[in-house]
């Protein structure tokens, strides 16, 4: 597993006693947020084409 994935796992903030499905939900949310962040970087760099994929990611995963 790469270091970024390990960082995201640590960022879940979900206690070990939390049910595994809740932990997975939080982990997935962090991954989607990371995808949106990459799209935003592209937009900030002037790549307007990234706006549509970012919107679709947000809509599909219902993550802000």
Q: What digits encode the pLDDT tens for the residues 32-46?
A: 888 888 888 888 888
In a domain, 37, yes or no: yes
Provide the greatest CA pair distance for the chain: 44
Query: Can you tell me the mean pLDDT for 8-21?
Result: 73
Cβ proximity of 22 and 14 under 8 Å: yes
How many domains does the chain fold into?
1
Mean pLDDT of the chain: 77
Domain assignment present for residue 6? The answer is no
- Domain assignment of residue 16, yes or no: no
17 assigned to some structural domain: no
Whether residue 33 is contained in a domain is answered as yes
**DSSP string for residues in 1-36:** --HHHHHHHHHT---TTS-HHHHHHHHHHHHHHHHH
Q: What range defines the domain where residue 32 resides?
A: 22-64
């Amino acid at each position: 597993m790469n270091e970024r994935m390990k960082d995201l796992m640590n960022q879940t903030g979900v206690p070990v006693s939390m049910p595994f499905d809740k932990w997975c939900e939080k982990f997935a949310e962090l991954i989607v947020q990371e995808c949106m962040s990459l799209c935003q970087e592209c937009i900030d760099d002037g790549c307007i084409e990234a706006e549509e994929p970012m919107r679709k990611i947000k809509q599909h995963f219902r993550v802000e």
